Amino acid sequence: MRSFLFSLLVVPIMSSAQINRSAREFASEQVRQYVTTKLFKDAPYKSISFGQIKSFQDKRNIEIAWTIEHTFEITESRKTFDAKPAVPKEYKFLFFLDDKMKVVRADSYFVY
């Protein structure tokens, strides 16, 4: 009887955690695709970290439902005749997503 009651308490918590994890992974895939196809085309991309997906409430912009922070490196190729190698630059962006996890806007707030 105790195990039954325990499982009634634990199962909803575990399923909620799995849904949040899946949403974060899907948002990460959408952000990765946005970076490689829209922001930095044809540039080598290396993901460093993704933050937690957070709910976003703004009365002025109702299409934005979620935000996620992403840190990544882009290796910019130099088209000069110097012997200098291409240097990777680290970027930190905040991505704004709609309710279907599509990227609506991206803001860069740190460039290293």
Q: What is the pLDDT of residues 11-65, one digit of tens each?
A: 566 555 555 668 889 999 999 999 999 988 888 999 999 988 998 887 787 889 9
- Which residues are CB-contacts of 102 (< 8 A; sequence separation ≥ 6)? 30
Whether pTM exceeds 0.75: no
Report the pLDDT value the prediction gives residue 97, as an integer from 0 to 100. Answer: 93
Pairing of strands 54-55, 45-50: unpaired
Compute φ and ψ for 60, nearest 5 degrees: -75, -30
Q: How far apart are CA 18 and CA 10, in angstroms?
A: 12
